[in-house]
Structure 1
């Protein structure tokens, strides 16, 4: 049986473990730099920056979805950005990924939102195939850009 629940503070270690497992799967473990105290504050502190759903199969945690609110000026409505989705290898194919995304879609609607969006690594054909199977599509004409580390500091300091 699949259940989806909101993560609570007691789930912090589990969430951190899922993040590390996702990074390993994505071949990005070397980019995981969070310290526990900072991540904990941003997930479960007085002003959470993100929310987490835990997916369970037969009562055992087997995956998670980490997400946060976005806003579309064109739609004039909020949305949800799915930052991380991970399902343990032994639970894949059981419907847990679909159940997590279904709950996120319901949250978008419950919150009066317009969109559920996320990124997919260009090599992740398994993920792309799964997302297509649930009705998602690639957004043509857009590229993802990022600023971080030294460039972010320089811009913040007016350089």
Structure 2
């Protein structure tokens, strides 16, 4: 068993790396990362709480940083990361790897759909559907294969105990 201090350092390091990856991917791919039909490629990382609890604060921090640069105003900067935090927590609790990408798809479809409905006056249901499609691409088409790859190499990447 690793000493507590080493485990804390490892947790913080994992969270920081995940936050940086999420923020950088979102900011660099900004044309894809926002709007009614968006594929926020960084959302593929939302499968990481399935493997490590450090991903929960990491995704929250990464989303906060990304939304400061790319968000749809103050509500998105404040609320978007909270939705990501909830999605990450739920992902960590998913009973199977097939369901792991589902929480961010559902929560972001509802949240971003409502946000764009109120801020950009876009049609709510259509916007929710389009956001769900983009989230499905990010979380299942990109994220799920990432999950399978990480699962295959889990011991090499996420060293525990």
Q: Which TM-score applies when normalising by structure 2?
A: 0.31
The structure with more radius of gyration = 1
TM-score, L = length of structure 1: 0.31
Larger RCO, structures 1/2 (Cα 8 Å, 6+ apart): 2
